Amino acid sequence: MPHSFHPHAPRIEPSAHPDDPHFVARMGWLRAAVMGANDGIVSVGALIVGVAAADPNPRAVMIAGSAGLVAGALSMAMGEYVSVSSQSDTERADILRERKALEEAPEQELHELAAIYEARGMSAATAMQAAREVSDHDALGAHVRDELGLSDASAANPLVAAFASALTFSLGAGLPLLTAMLVPGGAVILGVLVSVAIALAILGACGAWAGGAPLGPSILRVVVGGLLAMAVTALVGRIFGVSV
């Protein structure tokens, strides 16, 4: 097995037409980018709206928004780091178990691999031949790829994932915070709602474009979900009259 293998993500097969790659190859970074930006826009936007509904004082709004941006970015970074690290540890443990199984029962593992290929549509003879050939080339790599479903094609580094998550969250959170700084105090809620709706629509469109998905449903679910979260937060702030 090549020493460069570093599994962290679902298996993605090499494309037979690299000049026209499948959109699924983008899922790893696209999910993290969209999630981070969406969380930043919605959570800090909702926080600002909730605080403004309770106390429209510009200083209170800015303190809450700034604190939400910093706390959210750090939380996203730590969450992504822990999540990716835990996944990596689990996958590494599975690979070690597979390596041990290959050392102790290579013939049984060969038949397991053949059974996988046969379940995918190969004849029994072809499946066994394929299993022997890939095992002769790289037995552990074949089992890791075809039995465990792992590949380094979309592997994630915990530190890189943490940084990317914090960065996209901060960029998303910066928009409602900047809006709150620029609009007059009495128009903070409306201004933030409008800016967030526009940002979410753009985010949904970018996510759909990058993933090759239809624009309409992607934009709709992002915008509706975000505005609903902000509406609930504003309602809480208005009812209790406290910073939330």
What's the pLDDT tens digit per position in 14-38? 444 445 454 444 455 556 677 788 8
Residue 93's nearest CA partner among 4, 1, 7 is 7
Q: Tell me: the pLDDT tens digits for 43-96?
A: 899 888 888 887 778 888 899 999 999 999 999 889 888 988 888 888 888 888
Does residue 102 have a pLDDT over 60? Answer: yes
pLDDT, tens digit, 9 for 90 and up, residues 142-198: 888 877 777 665 566 788 888 888 899 999 999 999 999 998 877 888 899 899 999
- CA–CA dist 33, 8 (Å, integer): 17
Q: Residues 6 or more apart from 146 whose CB is under 8 A from it? A: 113, 116, 117, 134
